[in-house]
Amino acid sequence: MDTAERDTAERDTDRFRWLREHPAPLVAVDALVRDDGGRLLVVEPTYKPGWDIVGGLVEHEELLSALAREAEEEVGLRGLRIGRLLAVDNVPAAGPGRPVIVFIFAARPAEPEVRSVDLILQQEEIRAAEFVPDETALERFPDPLRRRVAAALEAERGAHTAYLVDGRAHPAGRDR
């Protein structure tokens, strides 16, 4: 290896070390899963108060793969039909002390006519799950999840993707 190659290798090593140590945000994926009647799937986690939507953290995988994995793990939905991206929420310094970027997608079960009783709950994480009207779901969610889901529901009815900061609409590109 000549001097130039050695210098390049050292720079690459330094850059990769810096990237590994960079305080990157966590990444999460969630879904507005709807049944054939248009009702929204909500889950009651065992590890925190209130209700939630299906989803979780990305674990060294592509976003849609992570969402499909979470849906299967949490409620037994295999082959989740994932639709368009509805919202992106930038949650600064969330509970774990790190920022979280949450991507919310529209989704439907692969099997037609899935009912709440058909779901297979991951008992360690999910206490209950059911399909409910949007209004009922929003009443059950704590803030900022309620705001995040409300923005995703609005985006679902429109043709835009909502950009949020801590569950609140934030015009992208606006001067601060």
Maximum C-alpha span of the chain: 67
Residue 7 has pLDDT above 70, yes or no: no
- Residue-level pLDDT at 9: 58
| pLDDT at residue 104 in the model | 99
Domain with 112 in it: 27-169
Asked if the structure places residue 66 within a domain, the reply is yes
Q: How many domains does the chain have?
A: 1
Read off φ and ψ for residue 10, nearest 5 degrees.
Answer: -65, -40
Q: Name the nearest CA neighbour of 156 among 38, 59, 3.
A: 38
Hey, what are 38's tokens?
């248009």
What pLDDT is recorded for position 173?
Answer: 44
| Residue at 54 is within a domain | yes
Beta strands in 34-108 (DSSP E): 40-45, 55-57, 81-91, 100-108
**47 lies in a domain?**
yes
Q: Identify which has the larger pLDDT, 38 or 24.
A: 38
Q: For the segment 128-160, what is each residue's pLDDT rounded down to a tens digit? A: 999 999 999 999 999 889 999 999 999 999 989
Provide the CATH number for the domain around residue 121. Answer: 3.90.79.10
75: in domain: yes
Query: Is 130 a member of any domain?
Result: yes
- Examine the pLDDT at 117 and tell me if it is beyond 90: no
pLDDT number for residue 139: 98
Predicted local confidence at residue 164, as pLDDT:
95
Range 69-95 average pLDDT: 93
With a cut of 60, say whether residue 175 has pLDDT above it. no
- What's the confidence (pLDDT) of residue 13? 73
Return d(Cα 162, Cα 19) in angstroms, integer. 29
Residue 170 reports pLDDT greater than 90: no
Question: Is 16 a domain residue?
Answer: no
Residue 40 falls within a domain, yes or no? Answer: yes
Q: Name the 3-class secondary structure at 1.
A: coil
Would you say 169 and 159 are in contact if contact means Cβ atoms under 8 Å apart?
A: no
Average pLDDT, integer, range 42-69? 96
Half-sphere exposure of 142 (CA within 13 A, CB side): 8
The reply to whether 14 falls in a domain is no
Q: In whole numbers, what is the pLDDT of the chain averaged over residues?
A: 89
Q: Cis bond leading into 144, ω under 30°?
A: yes
